[in-house]
Chains A and B, each alone.
Chain A
């Protein structure tokens, strides 16, 4: 079945941008990365679009991180999300606080743990997660279990004051 760019875009672009935005905290960067992933898909159409697109995008994030170009962006994560974000379930100032705390907690996770949580939140199945992250299918459960645990721990460790690691 040939790769239908427009259809893939309609199906996955929003989800990809959201995942990248949650990953990087930067709306523009998320859009750029998503655009780049789709452009590459247009140039070499993938067989399995969703894992491919997300894998490409996550690799791009990792590469940029490795090049150290984006270190300063992390500081942005500590500032209030403000108009960039549409509120999650909670409301008000507490919500902004919470978002900031979750972001800080996420920073403590290894790349893979962070990514697996974000992919799960986008509705990826274990098979899709395995394909996207290059994991064995049997390893997805344990990785998720660990990642969830670490996120919750990192979140609560911040309780009672700013995280020392910031």
Chain B
């Protein structure tokens, strides 16, 4: 055998050499003092390097760190297209569905509906915490909805109740949870959960206040129209922070839906396309679309056109309507 190169010596030291190669090496070393020295030098270097790396230590342990967290238990079925949903889908904590009829969105009548810059409460961290985190709201005049006190307990479906390994392996549809205020709301929520494949917590809301609080004290509205529906969805970031995505549904004069979705941007949320992913997830769930992020695959009843931007206040906005680019641009100009 010729003199072994450094890589071969390293393999020997790491115990990765195949038997016959190891035998050849032994034979060579027996006859070659220079290589014996090299081996010893390499041994010392290896030991020191490994010591140094070991000196880095461990991160401080966290309790139950090795159990699959709930956020990954409800991972989406294989084949769901967008990668962002891998975390986003798992983390919806609250959905509020409101049917407002005439009372919604009439800004004169909506005494507590602030515009940008005139918050009813000072924006604070508490305002953006997920409702289940215990930030029970004080009663507000005119607000019909209250966070359901037991929402926190039913927040996560008890997958652990399922037998054995199935619990973790089940990218399963969660049972509908949440104490909705009316049967129709419950039904809607259940349908949505079935389609979306994960647990939603329904919290009925018939005013903009929860949405405004969720966004930190301000909200962007479409001028000239009244919203017929408000949805607040909480997404938990991998870092543990939560972000609220508010979806307002309007109807244009012809009755076609216009949807305005907004959320405060963070670099992580942007990178993962949080608000967009939320929309796409719903679209795909309703369209039962297995394909990759294909914007042209939508259910027939969803708006076709979409425009997305970040406003000066740092909110990611997504506007969806059955309209061409020009009309979308005009609509966008009316978002304040």
Binary contact track B57-87/A, C-beta < 8 Å → 1, others 0: 1111100011111011101101010010111
- Please report which residues of chain B, range 214-266, place their CB below 8 angstroms from some CB of chain A when the two chains form the complex: 237-239
Whether the pair A102, B80 counts as a contact (CB closer than 8 A) is: no
A21 proximal to B (CB < 8 A):
yes
Contact present for A9 and B7 (CB under 8 Å): no
Asked if B37 lies at the interface with its beta carbon under 8 angstroms from chain A, I say no
Nearest CB of chain B from residue A131's CB, rounded to whole Å: 14
Question: CA of A27 to CA of B7 in the docked complex: distance in angstroms?
Answer: 33
B interface residues, how many (CB within 8 angstroms): 53
In the complex, whether B171 has a CB less than 8 A from a CB of chain A is yes
Pick the contact of A31: B86, B87, B238 (CB < 8 A): B238
Q: How large is the interface on A (under 10, 10 to 19, 20 to 34, 35 or more residues)?
A: 35 or more
Chain A: minimal CB distance from B309 (Å): 21
Name A42's closest neighbour in chain B (CB-CB): B75
Closest chain B CB from A9 CB (angstroms): 4
* B50 contacts across to A, CB distance below 8 A: 120-121, 148
Nearest CB in chain B to that of A44: its residue: B78
Interface string of A34-46 (1 = CB under 8 A from B): 0110111011110
* Complex Cα spacing A57 to B90, Å: 20
Given contacts A4-B168, A86-B60, contact A102 B90 (CB under 8 A): no
Cβ of A126 within 8 Å of any chain B Cβ, yes or no, is yes
Q: Kindly state whether residue A105 has any CB partner on chain B within 8 Å.
A: yes
Q: Is A85 in contact with B57, judged by CB distance below 8 angstroms? A: yes
CB of B40 within 8 Å of the partner chain = no
CA distance A22 to B50 in the complex (A): 13
**Nearest CB of A to B278, in Å:** 15
* Pick from B10, B55, B165, B168: contact of A102, CB under 8 Å: B55
What's the Cα separation between A120 and B87 when bound, in Å?
A: 29
Bound CA–CA A30/B60 (angstroms) = 12
Q: Residue of B at shortest CB range from A87? A: B57
Does B138 make an interface contact (CB < 8 A)?
no
Question: Does A98 have its Cβ within 8 Å of any Cβ on chain B?
Answer: yes
User: Which of A6, A69, A143 is in CB contact (< 8 Å) with B267?
Assistant: A69
A4 touches B49 (CB 8 A): no
A40-B66 in contact given A27-B59, A85-B58, A88-B54 (Cβ < 8 Å): no
Q: Is B29 part of the contact surface with A, judged by Cβ < 8 Å?
A: no
A133 to chain B, nearest CB (A): 15
Is A21 touching B54 in the complex (CB atoms < 8 A)?
Answer: no
Near A by CB (< 8 A), chain B positions 31-69 give 42, 45-46, 48-61, 65-69
Min CB–CB distance A119 → chain B (angstroms): 10
Interface flag for A155 (CB, 8 Å): yes
Q: B16 contacts the other chain (Cβ, under 8 Å)?
A: yes
Known A-B contacts A5-B168, A141-B11; the reply to A81 vs B57 at CB < 8 A is yes
Q: Is A80 an interface residue (CB 8 A)?
A: no
Q: Are B10 and A144 in touch, CB under 8 angstroms?
A: yes
Q: What residues of chain B lie closer than 8 Å to A58, measured between beta carbons? A: none
A95 interfacial by beta-carbon distance below 8 Å = yes
Say yes or no for A142: interface residue by CB 8 A criterion. Answer: yes
Q: Name the distance in Å between B77's Cβ and chain A's nearest Cβ.
A: 9
Interface residues of B in 1-39 (CB under 8 A from A): 5-11, 14, 16
Chain B contacts of A142 at CB under 8 A?
5-7, 10
| A126-B11, A152-B48 known; A10+B56 contact, CB < 8 A | no
CA distance A140 to B8 in the complex (A): 10
**Chain A positions 1 through 20: 1 when the CB is less than 8 Å from some CB of chain B, otherwise 0:** 01011110110011001100
Q: How far is the CB of B48 from chain A (nearest CB, A)?
A: 5
CA distance A45 to B171 in the complex (A): 12
Tell me whether B52 and A141 are in contact (CB under 8 A): no
- In the bound complex, CA of A85 to CA of B239 (Å): 19
List 11 A–B pairs whose Cβ atoms lie within 8 Å, in order of A's numbering. A6-B165, A9-B67, A21-B59, A45-B78, A81-B57, A144-B10, A145-B6, A145-B7, A146-B6, A148-B46, A149-B49
Q: A2-B169, A152-B49 are in contact. List 13 more A-B contacts (CB 8 A).
A: A17-B59, A18-B59, A31-B239, A32-B238, A32-B268, A85-B56, A86-B57, A88-B57, A102-B53, A140-B7, A141-B16, A142-B5, A146-B6
List 7 tightest A-B contacts by C-beta distance, closest first: A6-B168, A141-B7, A42-B75, A142-B7, A148-B49, A39-B86, A88-B57
